[in-house]
Amino acid sequence: MTSVEKTNIKIIIADDHDVFRKHIKNLIIHKNLAEKIDEAVNGIELIKNLEKNKYDIVLLDISMPEMDGLAALEVIKERFPDLKILVLTMHYEDSYKKRVKEKGADGFILKTQIFDNIFKAIEAIMSGKKYFIDS
């Protein structure tokens, strides 16, 4: 898979900031990267979507209301163990990266690094690799 090649992957973006979700969705659409892109505003909505639809990868924010990304990550790995998860966050502290690794995430990038890394991260994760970059 290359960043400009249409793929048949299905993505769900879970983030409580509407502008951020829409921006990421538009970037992915512009690159023609996914067959389907859905959105969730919190972990509860994300889990409900995962129960109804099949996705290949979740783009997951840590700080969300009702059920945060760390709690959602635990539920996802327990109930959907093969689902790929890329954490996108503003939390630059190494402790967050360590926690998401321990909980089974496949990747971690800061939101400030999105433009340089989002497509590389998705490509790496979908090919079975991990993608954790330093802050």
pLDDT one-digit tens code per residue, 43-88: 999 999 999 999 999 999 999 999 999 999 999 999 999 999 999 9
- Residue 109: pLDDT band (50, 70, 90) is very high
pTM of the shown model: 0.91
Domain range list for the chain: 10-128
d(Cα 99, Cα 19) in Å, to the nearest integer? 26
Q: What percent of the chain has pLDDT over 70?
A: 94
* Count of other CB atoms within 10 angstroms of residue 123: 17
Q: pLDDT category, 92, cuts 50, 70, 90?
A: confident
- Evaluate whether the domain defined by 10-128 bears CATH number 3.40.50.2300: yes
Separation between Cα atoms, residue 4 and residue 70, nearest integer Å: 31
Average pLDDT over residues 90-95: 81
Whether the predicted pLDDT of 7 surpasses 80: no
